[in-house]
Amino acid sequence: MALPVETFFLHPDAQGTLQSQIQQMIAQGILSGRFQRGEKLPSTRKLALHLGVSRITVTIAYTELLANDYLTSKGRSGYYVSDNAPVPPAFTPSQVGPDAVDWTRAIGQRFSGGDMPRKPADWGGYRYPFIYGQADPELFDHANWRLCALKALGQKDFTALTTDYYDQDDPQLIEFIARHTLSRRGITARPEQILITLGAQNALWLTTQVLLTQRRRAALEDPCYHALRDILSQSRCHVTPVRVDADGMPPDAIPPNTDVIFTTPSHQCPTTNTMPMHRRHELLERAAEMDALIVEDDYEFEMSFLKSPSPALKSLDTDGRVIYVGSFSKSLFPGLRLGYLVGSEPFIREARALRASVLRHPPGHVQRTAAYFLSLGHHDALIRRMGSALHDRREVMSAAIAAHGLQIAGQGAYGGSSFWMRAADGVDTQELARRLQARGVLIEPGHAFFSGPSRSRNYYRLAYSSIPAGRIADGVALIAEEMRALSDLGLNAVGNWP
Amino acid sequence: MALPVETFFLHPDAQGTLQSQIQQMIAQGILSGRFQRGEKLPSTRKLALHLGVSRITVTIAYTELLANDYLTSKGRSGYYVSDNAPVPPAFTPSQVGPDAVDWTRAIGQRFSGGDMPRKPADWGGYRYPFIYGQADPELFDHANWRLCALKALGQKDFTALTTDYYDQDDPQLIEFIARHTLSRRGITARPEQILITLGAQNALWLTTQVLLTQRRRAALEDPCYHALRDILSQSRCHVTPVRVDADGMPPDAIPPNTDVIFTTPSHQCPTTNTMPMHRRHELLERAAEMDALIVEDDYEFEMSFLKSPSPALKSLDTDGRVIYVGSFSKSLFPGLRLGYLVGSEPFIREARALRASVLRHPPGHVQRTAAYFLSLGHHDALIRRMGSALHDRREVMSAAIAAHGLQIAGQGAYGGSSFWMRAADGVDTQELARRLQARGVLIEPGHAFFSGPSRSRNYYRLAYSSIPAGRIADGVALIAEEMRALSDLGLNAVGNWP
C-alpha cells in the first residue's frame, strides 16, 4: 500500500535543517509503526510539493534514509520502507512523558467499574459455551439477511438512508413494528408512540434518564439484569431491589413511594419465571394506587417454543402507565444493536429529544435492512427454526442436568434460552466458572445479578443458545465434576429459595 | 401477505361468548387498520389451536364476518380481509380515553425544546437546497460502498460482527483510523486512546458527560454548533459563550475558571474561519495556565481543497490536554452515524464505560464496512472528487454572491462547504428563509448558532455541498431578490462584525 502524502507533516516548532526534519519525520513514522515494511513512499516531487520544500531537499533526505537502510529503492518505481528497517517496539507510547493533566481531578463523572460479567472475547473458540445472549451463527439466516442488506443498499433506498434523519426513524421499520411485532404482543400503538433504539439497553437507558432524577425512586427486581442496575445507579435515583419469587416480582413488596417499577414479566431475568395473569393485574393495580409507571422489558418473548406467550403487560394497560421495551438482539443478533420503546406520546417525545441529543438516530441502513428482513417473513421463519433448535437443546440439557443431580432454580414455562441454576450454599460460582473455563466450559456466575452487600454467590446461569445439542451432555458432565470438587466444602448446606 | 396466527389474542378480561370475542377481535383489527384488505387470515384449524377453542367456534365467527362483508372467502384457499371491509378512520387513536398518567409530573427531566434548525424532510425535492451537512448522492461512491458492505456481510466477517462486542470496537476500523486518518492530522494515538462513536454529536455528548458537572464551567464559541449548546445546557454545567473573531476563539477572552474549552480550529462553525498557528499555541498555553482541557471538534478537515489543512490542535498537545473529535458524516454520509474520540487513556476509559451503558457499541457491520471503504482507498478518492466538485461550486457561488452584492461574513481559507453570510441589520433571516422556501430556495438562518438573549438575527449560512453548480447562480439571484424586498426596512444600517 502507498503511504498517502497527506500523512506527512513538518512540525511547525521543529529544530534543524529541512532535510534533517524530513529524515526524522520518516524515521519516526517507521519507528512508531505507522509506516510498515514494504509500504511505498510518495515520490520526491509529490512530497516536495506537499511540504512546500525544494525537490532536491527531499531527494537528499531519501538518499540518507536509503544509506541507513530505513528505505529501499526499486529503480524507477520509487522508494519503499525497507525490509531491514528498524523494528518498532511492540509497545509504542504516543507521548514521551506522562500527561500533564491530573485525570483524577479532570474527570467529573465516573462510569467505569460496573460489574458486567465478562465473557472471553474468543468465546466462540470454547468447546462448551453455555453463555447467554450471543447469536448462534448456525441458526441465523445469513443468506437472507445479506439479500435484505443488499436491497437496502439499492440506489433508491440508499439515497434516502444516507441523509441525516435528525430525530426521526425509518418509517418502514416503525410501520412493521406497529402492525406486526406489537400486535403479536396484544399492543396497539401509533408511530408517534414508538422510538427505535440501539438495542434494549439503550431503551432502558433513555427511559431512566427521562423518568428518574436524584429525588425519585425506582423499584427493580432482585436478581435482575446487571446492566440495568448500573444504569440506575449512574442516574443517582433511589433504588429499591425487590426480591422476586417463583411468579416474578411480588407487587406487595414494592415500597409505596416508588415512581418507576422495572420488571420482566415474560421471562424474569435471570430466573426465567413467567408472571401469571393474576399477578400482572395486581401489579397494574399496585402501580395505579401509587401513580407509578411500569417499565416492561419484554426480552426474549419470541423464544416461547413450549406454548404461546401470554400477551404483554402493556396490552392490559389502559392508563398509559406501562412503557414497553422490545429488542431484536435475541431474535436477530446482538451486534445489530436494534430495539424499540413503546409508550405514551409525551414520554416518547422526551425520549426522542434525548436520543437526538445523544446520537441523533440509529443508522438508517441497519433499520431498513431489518425492516426488509421482518416484512419478507424471514424473521418469523428464523424464530420457528430457533424455537425448534432451542427446544431440542433444552430437552438434552434437562436430561443431563437431572442425570448429574444438578439443581435447577428457575426454568421458563414458555421456553427461553437458559436455565437458572443453584449450587450448594458453600459453592462460589465465580470460582466454579474459573475452573471450568480452564476445561473449555463457559458458564455465567450469578453473583452480578443480585443487589446489595449480601449477594448470593451460589447461583449461575446456563444458556443453550450458543452451544450445539451434541455437546451439551459432555459440558454438563464437566460442570457436575467441578461442582463435586468444589462442594466438598459445604455440600450439606442446601438452603431454601434465595 | 398472510396474517400470522400470533397476531390474534383473546383479551383475558373480555365479555361475551368466545365466538363473539373472536368476531370482535377480527373486526377491531380491520377497523384499526392493523389487518388490511386482501390479507389472508389463519385457517380455522390453526386459529382454533392457537386460541385454545374449538374449531367450530372459529368457523362460526368467520361465517358471521363473511356475512357482514369484513371477510371474503376464496373457496379452498381460505379467508381474506374483504375489499369491501369498512375503511379504518385516517387517524386511529390507540386508547379510547386520555392517559391516567399526569405526564407533566411523571417526566423527571425534559429534553425537548432545543432549537435545532429544521430542514424540511423533503429537502431533496427543492430546486435550490443551500443546506449544510447532507450528503450529495451525485458525489458519493455508492457502487464501492455497496461492494464494501457486501464484503463485510461475507460469512467470516458476519459471524464476527453479529456478536455482542460489549464495550469494544471493530479493531480493523480502529487500526485504520490510528495509522492513516489520524496521522494525516499529525496525531499519534494507540488503540486504547480511540473510541468509535455514533457521529461527532455522540462524541461531544460523551465528552460532556464525562468532564462536566453542575459545578464545572465550559467555554464555547459564540456563534457555535447549536446542538453542542443544547448538550451543554442539558448537562447543567456553567457555560460561558466566547465571541469569536476572524481568527476563531480568542484565548484571552476565556474566563480563568474554565474547566473545558470547546473549539473548532480547522473551520470555525459556522463562520468557517481557520485559527492561525500562533493562536493555537496561545490557546494551548492559556489552557495549561488554567489547567483546563480543550475539546477540538475537527469537523470537515477533509474538505480542504484550496490548500493542505494545518495539523490538528491535538498534534501540538504534549500535555494530553486536547480531546479530539472526528467524524465521517461529512466525508462519507451523515446517516452512517460514525465518528470517533481521541484522548488520553483515563478519559477514553470513562467515555467507553459510559457508551457501554448508554448503547454498548456502534453496530459492527457499519464499522467494518467503513473500515473496508477507508482501507481500499475509496475514501481518499471520494474526498478528491468531492474537493474538486466543491471547488467548482465555490467559485460559481463566490462570483454570484459578488455579482448580487451579498455580504460574506466568513469563508474558509482552506475550503469547506459553506459561506457564512450577513444580511443588513434590520433583516430577520428566519423571515428571509421562510419567504425563500416558498420559492424553492433553502437557506439556514443563523439565529440558532448564537448564544444568549440578544442573538444576532441577520446572519445566515449558505452551503454548497448539496446543490449542483448549475443551479447556484439562479438560487443566489433569488436570495438577493428576496433580500432586497426585506431590507427595504433597514438597509442603511450595516454595522460592524456581530
Average pLDDT for residues A333-352, to the nearest whole number?
93
Confidence band (pLDDT; 50, 70, 90) for B300? Answer: confident
Closest CB to B114 among A121, A333, A353:
A353
| Lowest pLDDT segment from A152-166, A256-270, A278-292 | A152-166
| Dist. CA B98–CA B109, nearest whole Å | 22
Closest CB to B116 among A124, A166, A186:
A166
Q: Decide which of A205 and A105 is more confident.
A: A205
Average pLDDT for residues B326-350, to the nearest whole number?
92
Class assignment of domain B142-377? alpha beta
In three-state secondary structure terms, B441 is: strand
Chain B residue numbers touching A195 (CB-CB < 8 A): none
pLDDT at B353: 93
Pick from B11, B92, B99, B319 the residue to mutate for testing the A interface (most A CBs within 10 Å): B99
pLDDT at A376: 85
* H helix or E strand, kind and range, residue A297: strand A293-297
Average pLDDT for residues B337-365, to the nearest whole number?
94
pLDDT score of A279 more than 70:
yes
CA-nearest of A79, A15, A30, A362 to B198 is A362
**CB within 8 Å of chain B, chain A residues 189-218:** 189-190, 193, 197-199, 201-202, 205, 209-213, 216
| Dist. CA B443–CA B458, nearest whole Å | 13
Q: What confidence tens digit (pLDDT) does each residue in A266-275 have?
A: 999 999 999 9
pLDDT score of A496 more than 90:
no
Percent of chain B at pLDDT exceeding 90:
54
List own/partner pairs for A75-81 with CB under 8 A and 24 or more apart: A78/A40, A78/A41, A78/A43, A79/A40, A79/A41, A80/A38, A80/A39, A80/A40, A80/A41, A81/A30, A81/A35, A81/A36, A81/A37, A81/A38, A81/A39, A81/A41
pLDDT score of B494 more than 50:
no
Q: What confidence tens digit (pLDDT) does each residue in B454-471 have?
A: 889 999 999 999 999 999
The label of the residue with cell 440508499 reads A158
Interface contact A39, partner B, CB < 8 A: no
Amino acid letter, residue B36: Q
End-to-end CA distance of chain B: 60
CA dist list (Å): A201 to A230, A259, A262, B446: 11, 20, 13, 37
The β-bridge relationship of strands A444-445 and B322-327 is unpaired
Most confident of A20-29, A353-362, A380-389, B164-173: A353-362
CB spacing of A150 vs B145 below 8 angstroms: no
DSSP string, B319-383: SS-EEEEEESTTTT-GGG--EEEE--HHHHHHHHHHHHHHHSSS-HHHHHHHHHHHHTTHHHHHH
pLDDT score of A475 more than 70:
yes
A476-497 in b/e form (b: 16+ CB < 10 A) is bebbbebbeebbeeeeeeeeee
Q: Record the cell numbers describing residue B72, joined without a space.
A: 371474503
* H helix or E strand, kind and range, residue A431: helix A429-437
CB spacing of B320 vs A101 below 8 angstroms: yes
Q: What confidence tens digit (pLDDT) does each residue in A386-433 have?
A: 999 999 999 999 999 999 999 999 988 888 899 999 999 889 999 999
Closest CB to A359 among B114, B199, B315:
B199
The label of the residue with cell 480550529 reads B265
Interface contact A428, partner B, CB < 8 A: no
| Dist. CA A27–CA A82, nearest whole Å | 11
Q: Note the CATH architecture for domain A127-136+381-487.
A: Alpha-Beta Complex (3.90)
Closest CB to A107 among B134, B347, B357:
B347
Q: Which fold has domain A142-378?
A: Aspartate Aminotransferase; domain 2 (3.40.640)
Amino acid letter, residue B492: N
Amino acid letter, residue A272: T
CB B184 within 8 A of CB A86: no
| Lowest pLDDT segment from A119-133, A331-345, A445-459, B110-124 | B110-124
The domain spans of chain B are 5-81, 123-136+381-487, 142-377
Mean pLDDT of the residues in chain B: 88
Interface contact A7, partner B, CB < 8 A: yes
Q: Note the CATH architecture for domain A5-81.
A: Orthogonal Bundle (1.10)
Q: Note the CATH architecture for domain B123-136+381-487.
A: Alpha-Beta Complex (3.90)
Q: Record the cell numbers describing residue B410, joined without a space.
A: 466568513
CA-nearest of B392, B329, B261, B344 to A97 is B344
Mean pLDDT of the residues in chain A: 88
